[in-house]
Structure 1
Amino acid sequence: MSNLKKQKVGEDDGMSKLPDSLLVQILSLMPTTKDAFRTCIISKRWHYLWTFVDTFIFNITNHNTSENLSFVDYVLTHSVSPKIKKFELDCTDCTDMYSYDDSSIRCEYDSLVTRCLSFAVDRNVENVLLWSFEDDVCTLPESLCTCSSLITLDVKYCTFDYYHPVISWKSLKSIKFGYSVLYDDEIVNKLSGCPALETMELYNVEGSRRLEINSLILKRLKLKDYWFAHAGEDHFLEIFAPYLQHLEISGDLNDLKCRLLDVSSVVKAKLTFNIRCTKGDNDEESDDEEEEQEDNRHDYHQVLYTLVQDNLQKLSCAAELRIGTWFIEVLCMLQFEGVLIPELKCKYLTLELHVEKFNLCGAAGLLRASPHVETLDIDIAITPFDSSWCQFESGYLAKGDNLDLDIWISSFVFPNLKSVKIASSHGVCLKYHSDRGYVKKLFKLSQFLLKNASVLEKFVIVSKRRRCKTCSKNCVSRYLFQLAEKLSDCTRSSTNFMIIFQE
């Protein structure tokens, strides 16, 4: 609709025969409110239809900021909708707000945010998204914090009024906090004011050291890119949630270590986060300093071993697990330390294997600890994490990649594994990573599965046909097709299965 031109709508036009109520519903489904507003030029009948929409979506950018703010104000003034289903105000692209010499624009923005939220609350809004911009922390007004009609809330770069901490969201079912500071008592306060809350998501949040969730209703918790601002301390986040059913921890946690205290009801868990070793290597250290640093690294990783072992034990009864590369790396080191991996009862297992940090020993060890698995998915992933290792990690991981899996796990079988699928994520260049040994390791793991899965029914390899931006070739399809061909000639335990290549 952005290039919509004025045209005469005849009586026989299909749209003109629709009732106003249906046309308003159509306008409410448009990508932005500005798109809905532009339809006013179609005809006189359409001139005021946009004022009845119950969905408002505004994107404020650096381009024509003042005009965009004025447009939002114009819409608020002319809207006649008695109820609002959705109100979204996205200002994350308005990054140069502070660069304006005229401070009136900043004042206009702050005032507009307050008016927008008051406007939405007065009309019993159900779904709110408010993303402020990076250099500004928007304080949520008290009226929004006590909005009884609110069902979903998604806020970024926002905070709460310290002097009015009361939260009363009686209908709220889903909440997302991003780029915020939340302390333990604040989270407890918010949860106590949300008796109907089912899902909570925290991303790029700092401050909390313990998440205690005793609600019988809240079933889903997602954590991503959690962090602490205070360097030089041991950073732990404890999670106590005995009634939680779905748990996701992903992203870059830096040095934050998550300790699962009670997640006994979890049936589906995703652990794809990355932790960076803080005991770095220094080439200029003296012998004494180097020895002390080595001891520090050893002690640091002992903490990680215990943490990973305990967390897996806490999730041993989950039916579905998705495990990331960092977790698999630690499992490799655990095994060389002689530490047993707890047996897992999951039936559906996904391994998210980073192309540069995929470790054979860790992946095979996790599979050996999962005798009940019926479905195995392997996602070839590229993530923005730091792919470097400390010296302590490098020695173990190099040793793990050079293992002969058949000798190391000579008598193991997968008694319940029926389906295996390998798929690649967008952006993977297998030509580049083939030269670095990734495809070879993937073949060794696949060969190991075929040889030891006695009831396997299908082995599916999925590739999207697309030209790689790195090598300018269709490398993913090429290398995965070669993988499928090589596997078709391998020894297999099951006599009734198919290798399927899909594009």
Structure 2
Amino acid sequence: MEIERQSTIPNALPSNSAGNSSEDSVKRARLSPSNQGETQKPVDYISQLPDAIILHIFSFLTTKDAIKTSVLSKQWRSIWTSNQYMSFSLPPGSSRKSKSFTAFVNSVLSRSTAIKVKRFFFDAPCLALMQSSLDRWLQFAIKHHVEEVSVILNYRRQKIYALPQIMFCCMTLVSLRVSRCCFWVSSAVNWCSLKTLRIEHAELNDDGMMRVLSGSPVLEFLELKGCVGVKHVMVESKSFRELVIDSHEFRGQASMLRISAPHLLKLRLLGNSRGGEFTLDEVSSLIEAELNFNMKIFAHDKVKAYADLVKGLLKRLHHVTKLVMGSWCLQVLSLMEARDMFLPSLECRHLILLGAAGHEGVPEAIAKILESTRLLEKLFLQTTCTPNDMIELNAESVRHRVFAGEEFWNFVKWRIYQCLMHLRHVEIVDCGANLLTWEPILSLLKFLLRNALWLDKIVINSTNSKSSRAVERSPLLEEARILQSHPKCSPGARVIL
């Protein structure tokens, strides 16, 4: 074998009687002169990268880090000046460094050779001495046909920076995100290319909002987070696809937010939105909706008002095919009197209930929702061990309810039988619930296995738990084994843990 191996090597040399091993001879024979030169001087692949690749790498870096790459190669020393992606950040509490930070940004922009700026990100405390500089920096980006702008000001006491009016005439702008800025619009808006708009923690008014929306004919995504002052969101654009209202602040006369968007496809109402209500006027094109907001209730007389709010929203969302409901909405429905528990018929085929366990009366609310979703095919439940403290009621103001487990579901079977005719997929995601919290869910799963005609599978996913110590995994595993052997109405139904 050794002879055969050596014979296959080109120009193989015999062993040296002076003591040089045959392996050294073979290595020398394998290396041609050109190969030996390459070994001594390795190729500098970094220097050979095309400028387009280098600039693409810069798009993932802050401007400061992009400048640091100039030490990698001589060819990289000046390429950063043509970087089209600019990102400047000053951490909170760094006010002492504001002068050097301002000087750094001025230096970068003065040395920039980029014809176009694709992205300009700014994240820093809003200091008074930086306002005029920020105006100049934004003007620089606008004059260089910027496409993406993000201005995040870490200043919580007050909003002291007003966006320059030239910003509202940037026709190349595709994406805009502003946080803690004064969003005052005094003239017509010309955002003919804008597709994504995020406004966070800003004071708005209906007149300015109307100008913004009417001046954005191709807007696809709008998010209002922690905003105050606006009472109407009306979008007529046919390209409008998604609206997110997060932690809306109802204040003074603006105690109602009316939403009208005939071409909207997805609506999300999120966060803590105390002191008002949402009204949906024209949302006939919606296919997906999420009601995951909460409003603090201080007295029993508020329960019916907020229950009417949830029922009113569901009535306007009856046609959506995917519906997400948060824990607060479920609890509100669970606190309603039986005579008021009439929900509109829902056409959704995919239902997601978040935090849907561990609260008294919630199984009744789930049953009522299942009764209303007669075409339901996929049910998703998320459990949690964190109590929802958004609802504060005296014990005497709400009747005490006793949950009787599977007996309860058997009792309401006649009400939800149509849902059982279509349900195919059930998934439970555990976010740290204890076994007591799981009891209503487990009884529901047993009921579905016994009664859902076309059920394909039940998936119990406990891998997403926030705290492994918060879950009694052994009892849960045992319950899953019990489910696997539980009688099934659908022969092909599977239980997957």
Q: What TM-score do the two structures reach when normalised by structure 2?
A: 0.83
How do residues 172-321 of structure 1 correspond to structure 2 at under 5 angstroms? 172-230=194-252, 235-279=255-299, 297-298=300-301, 300-321=302-323
How far, CA to CA, are the matches of 1:500 and 1:81 in structure 2? 55
How far, CA to CA, are the matches of 1:251 and 1:161 in structure 2? 25
Q: Which residue of 2 aligns with 1:45?
A: 75
User: Using a 3 Å threshold, how does the CA distance of structure 1 residues 59 and 409 change in structure 2: closer, same or farther?
Assistant: same
Q: Is the 8 A contact 2:174 2:195 kept in 1?
A: yes
How far residue 87 of structure 1 moved from its aligned partner, in angstroms, is: 1.0
Q: Which residue of 1 aligns with 2:25?
A: none
Equivalent residue in structure 1 for 2:333, among 331, 334, 341: 331
How do residues 30-429 of structure 1 correspond to structure 2 at under 5 angstroms? 30=61, 32-61=62-91, 62-63=93-94, 64-91=97-124, 94=125, 106-133=127-154, 134-135=156-157, 136-161=159-184, 164-230=186-252, 235-279=255-299, 297-298=300-301, 300-334=302-336, 336-353=338-355, 357=359, 359-381=362-384, 386-391=389-394, 395-396=398-399, 398-399=400-401, 401=403, 404-411=407-414, 412-413=416-417, 414-424=420-430, 428-429=431-432
User: Using a 3 Å threshold, how does the CA distance of structure 1 residues 386 and 489 change in structure 2: closer, same or farther?
Assistant: same
Deviation per residue, 1:460-491 (Å, 9 max, x gap): 112227782xxx63737556534422322333
Q: Aligned letter for 2:213?
A: L
How far, CA to CA, are the matches of 2:482 and 2:255 in structure 1? 46
> Any gaps of 5 or more consecutive residues in structure 1?
1-9, 98-105, 280-296
Q: Which residue of 1 aligns with 2:5?
A: none
How far, CA to CA, are the matches of 2:291 and 2:222 in structure 1? 16
The root-mean-square deviation of aligned C-alpha atoms, in Å, is 2.6
Find the structure with the greater CA-based Rg.
Answer: 2
How far residue 174 of structure 1 moved from its aligned partner, in angstroms, is: 1.0
Q: Is the 8 A contact 1:362 1:400 kept in 2?
A: no
How far residue 355 of structure 1 moved from its aligned partner, in angstroms, is: 5.7
* SS at structure 2 position matched to 1:175: strand
Q: Is the 8 A contact 1:354 1:382 kept in 2?
A: no
> Any gaps of 5 or more consecutive residues in structure 2?
1-40
* SS at structure 1 position matched to 2:481: helix
**Residue 28 (structure 1) aligned with residue 59 (structure 2):** yes
Deviation per residue, 1:362-397 (Å, 9 max, x gap): 12221221121111111235789634431379725x
How far, CA to CA, are the matches of 2:259 and 2:119 in structure 1? 32
* SS at structure 2 position matched to 1:171: coil
Deviation per residue, 1:243-280 (Å, 9 max, x gap): 2111110111123211222211111111111111143x
Q: Which residue of 2 aligns with 1:446?
A: 445
* SS at structure 2 position matched to 1:345: coil
Deviation per residue, 1:264-304 (Å, 9 max, x gap): 1111111111111143xxxxxxxxxxxxxxxxx43x33332
How far, CA to CA, are the matches of 2:472 and 2:211 in structure 1? 49
Q: Which residue of 2 aligns with 1:486?
A: 482
Q: Is the 8 A contact 2:356 2:381 kept in 1?
A: no
Q: Aligned letter for 1:374?
A: E
How far residue 119 of structure 1 moved from its aligned partner, in angstroms, is: 1.3
Q: Aligned letter for 1:124?
A: H
Q: Aligned letter for 2:107?
A: Y
How far, CA to CA, are the matches of 2:290 and 2:335 in structure 1? 21
Deviation per residue, 1:295-325 (Å, 9 max, x gap): xx43x33332332222212111111111111
How far, CA to CA, are the matches of 1:395 and 1:490 in structure 2? 35
* SS at structure 2 position matched to 1:363: helix
User: Using a 3 Å threshold, how does the CA distance of structure 1 residues 408 and 116 change in structure 2: closer, same or farther?
Assistant: farther
How far, CA to CA, are the matches of 2:132 and 2:204 in structure 1? 25
Deviation per residue, 1:434-462 (Å, 9 max, x gap): 4xx31212212322332331101111112
